[in-house]
Amino acid sequence: MIVLVVNCGSSSLKYQLVNMDNEEVMAKGLVEKITLPDARLTHKWNGRKKEIVQPIPDHKVAVKLVLDLLTDPEAGVIKSMKEIDAVGHRVVHGGEEFASSTLITDEVMKALERCSAFAPLHNPPNIIGIKACRAIMPEVPQVGVFDTSFHQTMPPEAYMYGLPYELYKEDGIRRYGFHGTSHRYVADRIAEVMGVKKEDLRIISCHLGNGSSLAAIKGGRSIDTTMGFTPLAGMLMGTRCGDIDPAIVCTVMDKHNLSAQEMDTLMNKKSGVLGISGVSSDFRDLGEAAAAGNERARLALDMFHYQVRKLIGALAAAMGGVDVITFTAGVGENGIEDRVAICEGLEYMGAELDAERNNVRGKDALISTDDSACKVYVIPTNEEIMIARDTKDIVSR
């Protein structure tokens, strides 16, 4: 079975064509700057790469272009579009409507539109991508895989906020959590790597990238997570502020005469390690600046490490202990010094890094000492393969 995995952003489209007989990635690529005259498509196959720069007015044209390339006599890996058995779409927000991945029907499309209210920046482009694929490949089944659905197993005491109950009932204000596809992949993979059943594990999964979240996964189910109603909550991130005293919002809006939109931009785009350092949202840049003596870059990194460590403690408490801590995504997989700084002081919960083992990037690896009661691992995430697996499962039913 061949599955096309599609991840649409507001001006981008990422894709992977996966042969599900052996989970081999046949081709993958990225379309950027959709709607602009100098849109760019980067297509990779068989160790080769092709770039196309041309105007791409909308996502439908982008999908068409990708399909043309996948079936191109030179750059293609299939003979015709008919070889694609199913398409799996990443969808950011499934609200309470989707506790698992789902076959997309007209009914589901309506539910997706309803969920857009929760993720006005992310869901609409996901929906545009689905519509484009349905229009171009009407015979091919399409599946939606949600960032939120893995966390639908959280108990109410974990997902409710201390606000009037009506806000939950009428407006759906609650913790949803994100990065669910990544946390779910890691939970499956760590059980495989450790050779144990995931039902027997208490995992703290640390997805640390531009956006970061932790999940407490007990017996294979998410029981709590650090992101909330939106992906703004938790530790400070590249440009997002993370958890702050909610009263700060009204105070700053009043004092600086900001609209809700402006305040939202301040917290999502101008805060985090960028806002603190004034240097960059990129952890590599921050590491370099801190090493060169930039104190605000140092502070931003210290805050990030401290907040991750503190949240690990909170999630360990939520599970009554922890058997394994996993690191994934850009910083989690590559940030050797970040992992050291985060784990410093976690010895009380039995987690102790091994300096030599921790000297590793981007591959499955045990990085704790043999004596460490709580194991620590690097597990590179793979959201695309999770989307492809779900898609295969659903269309094979």
Q: How far is CA 6 from the centre of its chain?
A: 14
Q: Has 282 been labeled as part of a binding site?
A: yes
User: Looking at 131-139, 209-217, 248-256, 342-350, which segment touches ligand ADP (CB under 6 A)?
Assistant: 209-217
Q: Is there a binding annotation on residue 320?
A: no
Question: Scanning residues 273 to 302, which ones bind ligand ADP (CB under 6 A)?
Answer: 282-284
Within 171-190, the residues that bind ligand ADP by CB under 6 A are none
Cβ proximity to ligand ADP, 2 vs 274, nearer residue = 274
Q: Are the CB atoms for 101 and 25 separated by under 8 Å?
A: no
Taking the complex as a whole, the smallest distance from the CB of residue 140 to ligand ADP amounts, in Å, to 27
Total residues contacting ligand ADP by CB under 6 A comes to 12
Nearer to ligand ADP, 203 or 206 (CB): 206
**241 in Cβ contact with 234 (< 8 Å):** no
Comparing CB distances to ligand ADP, the nearer of 15 and 283 is: 283
Cβ closest to ligand ADP, residue 289 vs residue 316: 289
367 interacts with ligand ADP by CB under 6 A = no
Q: Does 211 bind ligand ADP (CB under 6 A)?
A: yes
Give least dist CB 334 to ligand ADP, A: 3
Neighbours of 258 (CB within 10 A): 15
- Any binding-site annotation on 14? yes
- Binding of ligand ADP by 209 (CB under 6 A): yes
Q: Which of residues 230-249 bind ligand ADP (CB under 6 A)?
A: 238
Position among 186, 232, 267, 331 found at the interface with ligand ADP (CB under 6 A): 331
Could you say which residues in the range 93-112 bind ligand ADP, by CB under 6 A?
none
| 90 annotated binding-site participant | yes
Residue 283 annotated as part of some ligand binding site: yes
What are the phi and psi torsion angles at 308 (to 5°)?
A: -60, -45
Q: Cβ of residue 205: shortest distance to ligand ADP, in angstroms?
A: 14
Question: Of the two residues 258 and 360, which places its CB atom closer to ligand ADP in the complex?
Answer: 360
Buried b (16+ CB within 10 A) or exposed e, 314-342: ebbebbeebbbbbbbbbbbbbbbebbebb
The residues carrying an active-site annotation are 147
Shortest Å, Cβ 139 to ligand ADP: 32
CB of 331 to ligand ADP, least distance (A): 5
How many CA atoms does the CB half-sphere of 11 hold within 13 Å?
Answer: 10
If the CB atoms of residues 282 and 354 are measured against ligand ADP, the closer one turns out to be: 282
List, as residue ranges, the binding site for substrate.
90
List, as residue ranges, the binding site.
7, 14, 90, 207-211, 282-284, 330-334, 383
Name the site residues for ligand ADP (rule: CB under 6 A): 209-211, 238, 282-284, 329-331, 334-335
